[in-house]
């Protein structure tokens, strides 16, 4: 019997896939769940139990959290990556690495097929298929939900006919959780007018006071939280626990999907949002003007390609080298005040702080140039405009 590896989540779609692959295609199903921070140990145990109850031959829970940080989150922090200046790629980046792990597993057991439960209307189908086709073109992809254009009710009826008894009530909101944030979709996000209600977000407001926290960075990496050194992954998790109690990091992302339509999704990403903003402020103090301008353009490209499933594009490795090199002086403490629903990045302390040069205090006094120097600089700095409008007087709107 031929083997198929199913990218498994435990939801309705993957449950349908298990039964369909076994009963209709007569395949030996091996399911794999790739955890990027969205499942507890208890939840993973429940998923595994359910997979075997569905009839899989084997099930694997693969934890790639540290690997995901080293290969993805680290660079998204270096680049202050926010898609459309809003979304920290909470779920989109995860899908790429989940796809890579699914392919690795499929190759390790000699599977002839890979299956996933994506529909034909979203971004994830593109991310999954592109990675599968690039890394393992010899393995055929099976997507029952997409290929058969199945409705939810059709899936439910099929599962019932094969003796499956589960909670058929559709959750009002679709939630996908990971270490870098949680996406939230619902009826409100299908149109352009409405916001998600507060209760749609998994993290509810628990604190109405305020707290100042300190994020310590070393060459761009989040190495300590409130003075306690730990791995960046653990620091992110600690920050998430504290900041989510203030219901920080909620927003709605509107953007262009890979399939060409506009998409709208809610998300909460307390740790990701605070980390990126804190890191960005530290860069403002420690990087040159040219570094910041160049970084911004490259980071936008990096985030766009990542979102669109193009992680394996060779340009991405080129940009990563630039981003890493740019972090040589991005070290120091960043102070953040957490308050209900928002936060303020209040300041930094760094030996690389370019404001502490002693040359001048902006708008106050300087020790580096004279008044004649200033006048000469301004005259030369404005010369190009002066020449242009001297020649094109008719274009000067006085």
In 316-345, which positions are buried (b, 16+ CB within 10 angstroms) versus exposed (e)?
Answer: eeebbebbeebbebbbbbbbbebeeeebeb
DSSP string, 237-294: HHHHHHHHTTT-SEEEEEEE-TTSSEEEEEEE-HHHHHHHHHHHHHHHHHS-HHHHHH
Q: Which residues partner with 30 through β-bridges?
A: 5, 58
Q: Give pTM, 2 decimals.
A: 0.93
Is 215 within a domain?
Answer: yes
Q: Give me the helix-helix angle, 92-108 and 289-307, nearest 10°.
A: 60
Do 121 and 257 belong to one domain? no
- Spell out the per-residue pLDDT of the chain, length 398, in tens: 999 999 998 888 999 999 999 999 999 999 999 999 989 999 999 999 999 999 999 999 999 999 999 999 999 999 999 999 999 999 889 999 999 999 999 999 999 999 999 988 889 999 999 999 999 999 999 999 999 999 889 999 999 999 988 888 777 888 899 999 999 999 999 999 999 999 999 999 999 999 999 999 999 999 999 999 999 999 999 999 999 999 999 999 998 989 899 999 999 999 999 999 999 999 999 999 999 999 999 999 999 999 999 999 999 999 999 999 999 999 999 999 999 999 999 999 999 999 987 765 666 667 778 889 989 999 999 999 999 999 999 898 75
Residue 251: phi and psi, rounded to 5, are: -170, 175
Same domain, yes or no: 193 and 266: yes
**In this structure, are 236 and 128 located in the same domain?**
no
Q: For residue 144, what pLDDT is reported?
A: 95
Total domain count for the chain?
A: 3
pLDDT of residue 307: 95
The number of beta carbons lying within 10 Å of the beta carbon of residue 287 is: 20
* Whole-number Å distance between alpha carbons of 328 and 296: 17
| CA 176/CA 39 separation, integer angstroms | 10
User: Are residue 28 and residue 160 in the same domain, yes or no?
Assistant: yes
pLDDT of res. 11: 86
d(CA 393, CA 398): 10
Residue with tokens 């303020």: 344
Cβ(5)–Cβ(31) under 8 Å?
Answer: yes
Question: Residue 163, exposed/middle/buried by CB under 10 A (0-12, 13-18, 19+)?
Answer: exposed
Alpha-carbon gap, residue 155 to 12, rounded angstroms: 8
Same domain, 378 and 339: no
Do 165 and 182 lie in one domain? The reply is no
272 lies in the same domain as 382: no
Please say which residue of 147, 170, 193 terminates a domain: 170
* Residues listed for the chain: 398
Q: Are strands 28-35 and 332-339 parallel, antiparallel or unpaired?
A: unpaired
Using CA atoms, how far apart are residues 180 and 270, in angstroms rounded to an integer?
9
Q: What is the dihedral of CA 143, 145, 147, 150, to 10 degrees?
A: 170
In a domain, 49, yes or no: yes
Neighbours of 129 (CB within 10 A): 18
pLDDT at 370: 86
pLDDT at site 368? 79
C-alpha distances (whole Å) from 141 to each of 125, 144, 329 are 11, 10, 46
User: Does residue 158 sit in the same domain as residue 178?
Assistant: no
Exposure letters 359-368 (e unless 16+ CB within 10 A, then b) = eeeeeeeeee
Domain with 151, as residue range(s), is 3-170
Final residue in a domain of this structure, among 145, 170, 195: 170
Looking at the domain assignment, is residue 42 inside a domain? yes
Domain membership of residue 307 (yes or no) is no
Task: Mention every residue, 6+ apart, whose C-beta is less than 8 A from residue 288.
Answer: 354
pLDDT value for 93: 92
Structural contact between residues 338 and 246, judged by C-beta atoms closer than 8 angstroms = yes
Residues 150, 198: one domain?
no
Task: For residues 197 and 145, state if they share a domain.
Answer: no
Q: Identify whether 41 is part of a domain.
A: yes
274: left (phi over 0), alpha (psi -120 to 50) or beta: alpha
Q: Is residue 354 part of a domain?
A: no
Residues 6+ apart with CB under 8 A from 217: 223, 278, 279, 282, 330, 331, 332, 334
User: If you write DSSP's letter for every residue of 341-366 in order, what string do you get?
Assistant: TEEEEEEEE-TT-GGGGSSEETTTEE
Task: Answer yes or no: is 376 within a domain.
Answer: yes
The phi and psi torsions of 364 (rounded to 5 degrees) equal -115, -75
Q: Could you say which of 170, 189, 207 is where a domain stops?
A: 170
Which residue is associated with the tokens 């899989």? Answer: 56
């Amino acid at each position: 019997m031929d083997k198929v590896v199913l990218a498994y989540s435990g939801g309705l779609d993957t449950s349908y896939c298990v039964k369909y692959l076994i009963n209709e295609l007569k395949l030996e199903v091996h399911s794999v769940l790739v955890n990027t921070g969205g499942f507890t140990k208890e939840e993973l145990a429940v998923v595994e139990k359910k997979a075997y109850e569905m009839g899989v031959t084997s099930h694997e829970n693969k934890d790639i959290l540290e690997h995901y940080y080293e290969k993805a989150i680290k660079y998204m922090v270096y680049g202050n990556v926010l898609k459309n200046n809003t979304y920290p790629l909470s779920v989109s980046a995860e899908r790429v690495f989940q796809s890579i792990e699914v392919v690795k597993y499929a190759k390790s057991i000699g599977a002839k097929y890979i299956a996933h439960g994506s529909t034909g209307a979203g971004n994830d189908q593109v991310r999954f298929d592109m990675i599968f086709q690039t890394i393992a073109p010899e393995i055929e992809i099976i997507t029952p939900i997409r290929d058969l254009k199945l409705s939810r009710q059709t899936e439910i009826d099929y599962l019932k006919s094969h003796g499956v008894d589960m909670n058929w009530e559709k959750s009002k909101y679709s939630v996908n959780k990971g270490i870098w944030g949680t996406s939230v979709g619902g009826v409100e996000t299908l149109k352009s007018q409405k916001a998600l209600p507060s209760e749609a977000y998994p993290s509810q407001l628990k604190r109405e006071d305020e707290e100042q926290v300190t994020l310590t960075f070393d060459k761009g990496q989040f190495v300590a939280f409130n003075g306690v050194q730990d791995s960046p992954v653990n620091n992110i998790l600690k920050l998430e626990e504290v900041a989510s109690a203030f219901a920080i990091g909620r927003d709605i992302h509107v953007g262009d999907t890979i399939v060409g339509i506009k998409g709208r999704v809610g998300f909460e990403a307390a740790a990701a949002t605070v980390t990126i903003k804190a890191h960005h402020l530290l860069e403002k103090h420690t990087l040159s003007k040219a570094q910041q301008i160049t970084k911004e353009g490259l980071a936008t490209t990096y985030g766009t390609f990542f979102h669109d499933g193009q992680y394996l594009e060779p340009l991405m490795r080129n940009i990563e080298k630039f981003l890493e090199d740019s972090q040589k002086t991005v070290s120091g403490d960043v102070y953040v005040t957490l308050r209900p629903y928002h936060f303020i990045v209040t300041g930094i302390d760094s030996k690389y702080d370019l404001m502490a040069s002693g040359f001048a205090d902006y708008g106050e006094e300087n020790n580096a140039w004279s008044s004649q120097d200033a006048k000469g600089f301004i005259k030369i700095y404005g010369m190009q405009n002066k020449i242009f409008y001297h020649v094109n007087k008719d274009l000067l709107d006085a």
